[in-house]
Structure 1
Amino acid sequence: MGQEHAGHSHDHTAGANAKMLGWALALTFTYLVAEVVGGLVFNSLALLSDAAHMLTDVAALVIALMAIKLGQKAPDEKRTYGYRRFEILAAAFNSVLLFVIAIYVFVEAIKRFANPEPIQSWGMLAVASVGLVVNLISMRLLSAGKDKSFNVKGAYLEVWADMIGSVGVIIGALIIRYTGWTWVDAVVAVGIGLWVLPRTWVLLRDTTNVLLQGVPAGLALSELRSSVVAVPGVEGVHDLHVWSISNDDVSCTMHISLRAQESASEVRRNVERLLREKFAIVHATIQTEQAGEPCELTGSGAHV
């Protein structure tokens, strides 16, 4: 009965998060379209650069929604790990797209430094002010679930960062309005690009590592190996692999050689406990064998 209640509660939490994410996505996407149109109409590169950053917000919200929806879909005969890797594919596509947009903004900014163009500062200010309000509303919508879900928290941080971009565009518009320095628009655009690109690079690096089934960030394979070898009864470790399906779902496989006269089941349980308690790895496949004997002839497997 207790398990049923816990699962039911989890469904309610996921449903509430999905609803808030949906509202935030609708607001953010609507403003993204308005900002692109405003940037073109008012000739503001800063608005277009901020729109590129707003695109990361839309992508983060879509990814968060995908994680909730696809995360509830059970594995099947064709996809035994389920569908959670769609989240990583979407994030990787998003980061590549952002790099392309950033290159465009930087090239256009160089042109405008050399040949400044007239800018309608009041229109630029109005669009950026609306963006600030949209960001504040989205942050309010997401604040309730940010401490209960890593996906919601990631989306919340994206919206928070974009709020900084909106403030930058507002300041730039005011400077242009009262000084006539149109080159400030290009400076703000480059500044927003430099603010977004490092975070975009981190996102691309981490998603590529997941797609290549690399060792998850924050986990040292040498430390894991030495910790397993230190377990009583373990002679050695080989064929050790650690990877993740998504950013928070780590899996591990290994072969361990046993010392003479050691109980395979007991040693295996101790290794499982170590992985779970020290490295937060709960999905592990461990094969045991006697030291010096071919593992393909004397092995037994266990799934955690």
Structure 2
Amino acid sequence: MKQDTKTSKRMRLAFLLNAGFTVIEIIGGILTGSIAIVADAIHDLGDSLSLGASWLLEKKSNKEATEKFPFGYKRFSLLGALLSGTVLITGSIYIFYEAGKRLFNPVSPHSEGMMWLAILGVLVNGFAALKLRHGEGLNSKMLSWHLLEDVLGWVAVLVVSIILQFKDIPILDPLLSIGITIYILFHVIKNLKKTLLVLLESTPEDVDMDTLKNKILKQPGVIEIQKMHLWTLDGKENTSMIQLLVVNMTNEESNRLRAEVREILKKEKVTVSTLEVNYLPE
């Protein structure tokens, strides 16, 4: 819970930084006459809304279980990851569209103003991205890619603004934007796929089912695994529901077996388990 609280605080800080800088971007884009910066400001506005929503959903995910939500609110953070991924993909499509137009109609903005705004952009977004990269969970990871996209975008603007002060090659801006967007999209789609797999309750990627089954079947008295379900609520905590068929044994032996199986599950990164033991009919 302490780690989750830290993650929520990091999201709040990232949201406030991003929202404040978006206002500066809009003003700076108008003053420098840079369409690229104005477009980036619109993209960052979407980021800010996404960060704000993700922060609120992350806070909600830390609430305890209730009768209505017996498994708690952990999956609310996944909604934040899903929202962030959707906004990023939509924003990337918009960047492709704007960059495509600039390939055929290059614009030479005020390069010196771009440079100072880019330096500020790298510092602000870089600090926010660094904070979120220490957080856990798919929501936090997705948001860190949000901000990394912004950092790389501002690095591209910085490089282009410096070059434009010496050579008039405005086509560099859209070319760099397209390259960065492709790189970010690759990672966003990868994280979005993980989020969807968690929501669909697939077997966690960090658990080897065959190894787990073999270790359980090797325990004294275990005849077969009748049922075995593994899933994760939020991409961090793995849960299992297992039903075993065992030979007749004393309560002491049964309790020892349960403890040993739970220890195996723990070592295989399954932290929450429901274990049912059925005895072989005489």
Q: TM-score range by the shorter chain?
A: 0.7 to 0.9
Counterpart in the other structure of 1:174? 162
Distance 1:94 1:270 in 2: 41
Counterpart in the other structure of 2:275? 286
Secondary structure in 2 matching 1:217: coil
TM, length-normalised to structure 1: 0.76
Aligned residues of 2:262 and 2:273 also touching (Cα < 8 A): yes
Structure 1 residue 104 displacement after superposition: 2.2
Counterpart in the other structure of 2:36? 45
In the alignment, which of 197, 200, 211 is matched to residue 199 of structure 2?
Answer: 211
Superposition pairs of residues 36-185 of structure 1, within 5 angstroms: 38-39=28-29, 42-45=33-36, 48=39, 52=43, 59=50, 63=54, 66-67=57-58, 69-138=59-128, 142=131, 146=134, 149-150=135-136, 154=141, 159=147, 162-185=150-173
Distance 2:99 2:10 in 1: 36
Counterpart in the other structure of 1:257? 245
Distance 1:204 1:16 in 2: 23
Amino acid at match of 2:178: V
Gaps (5+ residues) in structure 2? Answer: none
Distance 2:35 2:116 in 1: 12
TM, length-normalised to structure 2: 0.81
Distance 1:24 1:225 in 2: 42
Distance 1:24 1:94 in 2: 13
Q: When the two structures are aligned, how many residues end up with a matched partner?
A: 277
Distance 1:178 1:118 in 2: 12
In the alignment, which of 194, 197, 204 is matched to residue 182 of structure 2?
Answer: 194
Distance 2:180 2:112 in 1: 20
Percent identical among aligned pairs is: 22
Gaps (5+ residues) in structure 1? Answer: 1-6, 299-304
Structure 1 residue 150 displacement after superposition: 2.4
Distance 2:15 2:21 in 1: 10
Secondary structure in 1 matching 2:166: helix
Structure 1 residue 60 displacement after superposition: 5.6
